[in-house]
Amino acid sequence: MPNAAILAVGTELLFGQTVNTNAAYISEQLQLLGYNVLYHFTVGDNPGRMKHALALAFREADVVLTTGGLGPTQDDLTKEMIAEEMGVKLVLDKEAMARMEEVMLSLGRKNYTENNKKQAWLPEGAAPFYNTAGTAPGFALERNGKTAIALPGPPREMEQMMRESAIPYLAKKSDSVIYSRVLHFYGIGESALETALLPIIEGQTDPTVAPYAKEGEAHVRISSKRASVEEAAAAVNLAAERAQALAGAYLYSMDGEEYWEVVVRLLREKGKKLAAAESCTGGLFAGMITSVPGSSEVFDRAFVAYSNESKAELLGVAQETLDLGGAVSGPCCREMAAGALSHSAADIAVAVTGIAGPGGAIPGKPVGTVFFGVAVRGADGEPRVSVSGKNFRDRGRRVNRRVCVLELCDLVRKELERD
């Protein structure tokens, strides 16, 4: 199994202004390709420290990937330092030069500088990785059994070059591949899920089954490392089916889909339209549903009824209901759901009213008290409404509201699957 190290070059990382998400992205990709990551390094635009880090990286790693320092200024030294470390000189890459000239002309910059031309020089013998999301090319360079791969620093450019050039290049060098799937569960905690999945966790070395908590949900990553992608995929798919058999009641997505994406897909499949009446989530549920491209086909409208007056006026909640039980109550939620259905063209309407915190708690109704409603049109044309109350643990306003959005998604999915 080949070893790898990652060297990030960038002063903004050492200042703490930017978090090094590149290292995590590249590490994850390397894992999937069957590489063992030994080190991450970050240095500024400093030749001495780049040299020290490269030397330490190459001591144990077969492949060293760098990010950043490929730009046109005198500060950008990554190419020079890699060439020096590997004992080659820089030569002009004509294709890189032609591409750079084309970009400069298209930007109307006829008098691009010598600095810009610097980007077209690559280490002699390097395989160029042309940049389709920016101007600075990257490359792979092999010498004496070691490989250096240079990538740009901006995450969008780096990820595109990884996908288009570096991953295919590295896949050829690895003798094993990793295949992974992430299963999403809602309504079960991380430890309860781990207990439920024990039969496929205990004593297993491949595939690995790893549950982890994720702001109101639980995710499970199933990974297998095998000689071929077909073998690895077969092992992962079998474990995923066993996970479904063991904890399927809580499983909402087997391929990393977010819950709102699942809801939009199911609505499209069933040809149903959705409406919502939101109080404590304040539009966040509608905002997440409509974050999915194409949601306009299945999402009719939402009533963000934040004030008591708006609950009465928009949804027809009776003043008596508000006076007797308050806005955070089962009866109010029932009328909100029924009102959202009757005041819309939707087939399903959901409603939520609760206390998101940090303020707003009242005796008997702490932060985390939330009521949920679902209304559908019954066979007789009358709305059929069901309401449930929850006492969520207070995890701060942001997470409390997110959990409410997940619960609403859960209610819509279960209603659609009941059909």
- Taking phi over 0 as left and psi of -120 to 50 as alpha, with beta for the rest, 160 belongs to alpha
Task: Show contacts with a second copy in window 208-247 (CB under 8 A).
Answer: 212, 221
Q: How far is the CB of 236 from a second copy (least distance, A)?
A: 16
Judged by beta carbon, residue 122 or residue 370, the one nearer a second copy is 370
Q: Which residues of 80-110 are buried (b: 16+ CB within 10 A; e: fewer)?
A: bbbbbbbebebeebeebbebbbeebeeeeee
Residues 154-213 that bind a second copy (CB under 8 A): 212
296 binds a second copy (CB under 8 A): yes
Q: What angle do CA 78, 81, 86 make, to 5 degrees?
A: 125
CB of residue 96 vs a second copy: minimum separation in angstroms? 26
Ranges within 259-278 binding a second copy (CB under 8 A) = 276, 278
What residues numbered 322-351 form the site for a second copy, per CB under 8 A? 343-345
Residue of 2, 31, 84, 331 that binds a second copy (CB under 8 A):
31
**Strand 369-377 versus strand 348-354 pairing type:** antiparallel
Of 16, 203, 271, 363, which one interacts with a second copy (CB under 8 A)?
16
DSSP assignment of 336-391, as one string? HHHHHHHTSS-SEEEEEEE--SSS--BTTB-TTEEEEEEEEE-TTSSEEEEEEEEE
53 vs 236, which CB is nearer to a second copy? 53
- 3 state SS of 321: helix
> In whole angstroms, what is the distance from residue 81 CA to residue 97 CA?
21
**What are the Cα distances from residue 120, in Å, to 74, 104, 128, 335, 368?**
14, 13, 10, 67, 58
Q: Which is nearer to a second copy, 89 or 291 (CB)?
A: 291
Residue 220 bridge partners (DSSP)? 183, 211
Q: Which is nearer to a second copy, 180 or 253 (CB)?
A: 180
Specify the residue, 75 or 95, whose C-beta has the smaller distance to a second copy: 75
Burial of residue 145, with CB atoms counted within 10 A of its CB: 0-12 exposed, 13-18 middle, 19 or more buried: exposed
Q: Does 18 sit near a second copy (CB under 8 A)?
A: yes
- Looking at the Cβ atoms of 292 and 385, the one nearer to a second copy is 292
Which of 69, 134, 152, 357 is in the footprint of a second copy by CB under 8 A?
357
Residues 38-57 that bind a second copy (CB under 8 A): 38-44, 46, 49, 52-53, 56
Smallest gap, in angstroms, from Cβ of residue 394 to a second copy? 13
Give the binding-site size for a second copy (rule: CB under 8 A). Answer: 75
The answer to whether 13 contacts a second copy (rule: CB under 8 A) is yes
